[in-house]
Structures are given as C-alpha cells and as structure tokens.
Structure 1
Amino acid sequence: MNAEYFQMFARYNQWANNHVIAACETLDQVDLDAPREAFFPSIMKTLNHLLVADTLWMARLRGEILKMGLGDVPWPEFADYKATRTQYDAALIEYVDRLDDAALAGILSYKNVAGVAYATPRNIVIGHVFNHQTHHRGQLHSQLLSAGCPSLEIDMIYFARLKGYSQ
C-alpha cells in the first residue's frame, strides 16, 4: 500500500463520517442516547467508541500516551462530539498527507489500553483505523435506521465515483 492509497482513505473516512453526522443531526439527544442494538448500546456510545479509539490511535501514531477506555463517553452531547470528530478527521488527513511510502513501512511501537506492548507496521495500523471506522459505521447505520433515519449510501464506491477515482 502506498501513501496515496491511505490519503484517499482518510478523505473517504471524513466524507462517510460527515454523512453519519448529517443523519445524527436529524435526531434529538434523547434519540441519540436511546438504547439500540449493537455492540455499543446507543448511537452516542457507538460514536464515542469510534472517536475514543481514533484518538488513542492518533496519539500512538504521534508517540503520545493517553489513558482512555474504549467504552468511555467523553463527548456525551452530540454538539461536542461533532466538533471533536470534525477536528479529528481533519487532523487525520493532515497526518496521512505527511506520510511517504517509507514512513508507512516503518514499525510503530505502542501499548494497548491494557498496557501490552506491540510493534506493528504503520501501514497495518493506519489500515486498521479505517477498517475499524467502517466496521462501526455499519453498526451506526443499523442504529440510525432503527431511529427512523433513511439508509446511508456511504460505501467506498460511492465516494470513489463522486471524487473521480472510478468511472
């Protein structure tokens, strides 16, 4: 995988997250907090899990250490979540845009939330960040449908067509 591939994924990630945010904005806070079927039992808890995980991974990529739990809800109000999500997605694009193929091939040493040390190629870690987003956006999609939102067309192919990667 080369740097341009991950740069495209960072932009897709932002685009898909913006669609999720737009759908969430049609709901009130009560609906966002209501119990829903998924691993994280509400829209807000699922949104928070994604942003907590992303925040932890970005810290690791920058050589920082954060103490957060994957079930923490640091952004219980949607407006706070939205502002932080928007900042994070822009920061992820900026970070990935600075990487070259050699940096992507490098090894990232880090500890997980349980304190276990790992060494993983940076391209695998960044790929995981995007894959994790997609995984939980699928759960969010189901939760949003159960809240009465229309289906979201956020598959990668829609982004690729829109941005000229596909014809």
Structure 2
Amino acid sequence: MDLERIRALYDFNRWANGRVLEAAGKLSWEQLTKDLKNSFPSVRDTLVHIMAAEWIWLERWKGTSPKALLNASEFPTVSTIRTRWGEVEREQRQFISGVSEESLKRVVAYINLKGDPYKYPLWQLLQHLVNHSTYHRGQVTTMLRQLGAKPVETDFLVYFDTVLK
C-alpha cells in the first residue's frame, strides 16, 4: 500500500466518521444509550469504541502501549464524543502527514490490552484501523435503523462520488 492510498483512506475515514456522528447527533439521549444487544450495547458505546480504537492505535504508532481504552461513560453526549474525536483526528492527521513511503515499512511493536506483544509493519496497522472503523460504522448504521432513525451512507465509493467529484 502506498502513501497516496493511505492518505486517501484516512480522508475517507474522517468523512465517514463525521457522517455517522452527524446522524447520531439527531438521536435523543434515550436512543443514543439504548441497549441494542450488539457488540457494544448502544450507539454511544459503539461510537466511543471506534474513537477509542483510533486513539489507541495512534498511540501505538507513536511508540506507546496504553493499558486501557477510553471509557464510554466519560462521553455522555455526541457533543462530548465529537470534541474528543476531533482531538484524536487532529493528532492522527499530523501523524499521517509525517509518514513517508519508507516509514510505511517500519515495524511497529506494541503490547495489547491483554499484555501480549505484537509487531506489524506500519502500513498494515494503518489499513487495519480504517477497516476496523468501517466495520463498527456498519454496526452503527444497523443500530440507527433499529431505532427508526435515518442511517447515512458511508461507502468508500459514495465518498468519491460526493466529495471528490
């Protein structure tokens, strides 16, 4: 995977995250926090999981291995999620802007939350995170439908058709 494609993936990822946050912002607090029996109980918990994963991977790319994810209870509203996520995305953009073709091959070593060591090339970790976020945004889309709310399209090609045309 080359740098141009990595940067395009992260531009897409920010766009898609923003669309999902916008849709979630229209929910009532009861809808946002309703247990829908998914991988993460509620829309809020799923959004915080996506954001927390983006944060923890960024930290790992920078050489630290946090011992815990962010806690959903610390983010009671979409506004609080959006504020923290904006900080994560700013740091993420800064990191991605400093990546070179050569550094994509750099092996990143980290310790996961269970204490197990892992090593992967940076390019694989960068691609993994976008894939992870896409997976959980799909879950949010299903949850929005379950709540009777309007889901949003976040497909990669929709991004190209609407943003880049």
The two structures have a TM-score, normalised by structure 1, of 0.91
Counterpart in 2 of 1:18?
A: 18
Quote the Cα distance in structure 1 between the aligned partners of 2:37 and 2:154: 20
Note if contact 2:21-2:78 (Cα within 8 Å) is conserved in structure 1. Answer: no
1:87 matched to which residue of 2?
87
Q: C-alpha separation between the residues in 1 aligned to 2:94 and 2:100?
A: 13
Matched residue type, 2:154:
I
Cα distance, 1:2 vs. partner? 0.7
| Distance in 1 separating the partners of 2:140 and 2:14 | 15
Aligned CA RMSD, in angstroms, stands at 1.5
- Which residue does the alignment assign to 2:130? 130
Quote the residue 2:158 is aligned against. Answer: 158
Q: Where in structure 2 are the equivalents of 1:23-42 lying within 5 Å?
A: 23-42=23-42
Deviation at 1:65, TM superposition (A): 2.8
Q: What do the CA deviations read for 1:73-109 (whole angstroms, capped 9, x no partner)?
A: 2323322111111222232222112111110111001
| Distance in 2 (alpha carbons) for counterparts of 1:78 and 1:22 | 9
Matched, 1:98 2:125: no
Q: Which moved more, 1:117-126 or 1:91-100?
A: 91-100
Structure 2-normalised TM-score? 0.92
Letter in 1 for 2:99: L
Which residue in 1 is equivalent to 2:68? Answer: 68
On the 8 A contact 1:52/1:68 being kept in 2, the answer is: no
Question: Structure 1 segments of 4 or more deviating over 4 A?
Answer: none
| Unaligned runs of at least 5 residues, structure 1 | none
CA distance in 2, matches of 1:18, 1:31: 19
Distance 2:155 2:26 in 1: 21
**Equivalence for 1:117:** 117
Percent identity for Structure 1 against Structure 2: 25
> Retained in 2: the 8 A contact 1:14–1:89?
yes
Closer, same or farther: CA 88–69 of 1 in aligned 2, 3 Å: closer
Between the two proteins, the alignment pairs up a number of residues equal to: 164
1:87 & 1:147 partners in 2: Cα distance? 29
